[in-house]
Amino acid sequence: MKNEQLWKPTKYVLKKGNLKSTSDTKYVSRSSRLMSDLVANFYATAIPEYAKGKLLDLGCGLAPLYGVYKNLTTEIVCSDWSNNMSHSAHIDVEQDLNQPLCFSDSSFDTVLLSDVLEHIYKPNNLLLEINRILDIDGVLLINVPFLYWIHERPYDYYRYTEFALKKMLEENNFEIIQFQPFGGAMEVLSDTSSKIMNQMPVIGRMYVALSYRLTSWFSHTKWGKHISQKSIKAFPLGYAVVAKRK
């Protein structure tokens, strides 16, 4: 990573050994902390299990997961387009991900694509390029939103169903190792209502904080787990995937 010494935790932080969303609203809005926690849970497990060798953090932004993968790989390359000056401090290779990637064939063992694919106008092209630059048995880690608001306008293009995402990966020569929806009806309701209420001064912030705490607590109870698991197929907040190059 370029300027490694300048890196600091942003979107995700370690708390008592667990990866969680930051409470700093500079990096994650109050109404998005629930989503951020769910994504953090996936990467806290998937990165230690699957990350290896030379890793490419594609669409890295501020490289929020750097603290998780930095000691698990032999080399790290961070790549993104430099539309945001605060991101450029961490970018090793400037790259528009809607264009062919500037990396050679079979040059990476792991590719991380976190909160990126929904912002790619021609996603099949990018998946094909990722397959090209991965070594044989190289691993791709992805998360995407589904029942989630429009963000980073005007660069938010798609929401993928489970079936579309699986088919796209398979057609681009990936074998799916792990596929998991996250969130369910309860989490979607909390996330959506929080984003609406967050627009209201004072009472909105109080609602968002209460909704986050109650949903986080209830989701770990017996009934909360039951509701989430019963509704997660029909009402996913998003998806997380581990796929391997065939």
pLDDT tens sequence across 110-124? 999 999 999 999 999
Give the predicted TM-score (pTM) of the model. 0.93
Question: Where do the structural domains in the chain lie, given as residue ranges?
Answer: 4-183+235-245
CATH topology of domain 4-183+235-245: Rossmann fold (3.40.50)
Q: Is the pLDDT of residue 188 over 80?
A: yes
Q: Is the pLDDT of residue 81 over 80?
A: yes
7: Cβ contacts below 8 Å, ≥ 6 apart: 1, 63, 66, 67, 90
Out of 50-59, 77-86, 144-153, pick the least confident.
77-86
Query: If pLDDT is split at 50, 70 and 90, which confidence band does 87 have?
Result: low
123: Cβ contacts below 8 Å, ≥ 6 apart: 117, 158, 168
Query: If pLDDT is split at 50, 70 and 90, which confidence band does 178 have?
Result: very high
What is the arithmetic mean of pLDDT over 163-182?
Answer: 97
Q: How far apart are CA 31 and CA 163, in angstroms?
A: 28
Query: If pLDDT is split at 50, 70 and 90, which confidence band does 2 have?
Result: confident
Q: How far apart are CA 62 and CA 76, in angstroms?
A: 14
Strands 108-114 and 75-80: unpaired
Q: Which residues, in sequence order, are bridge partners of residue 93?
A: 79
pLDDT at position 71: 94
Mean pLDDT of the chain: 94
pLDDT at position 209: 94
Q: How far apart are CA 42 and CA 31, in angstroms?
A: 19
pLDDT at position 173: 96
What is the arithmetic mean of pLDDT over 157-169?
Answer: 97
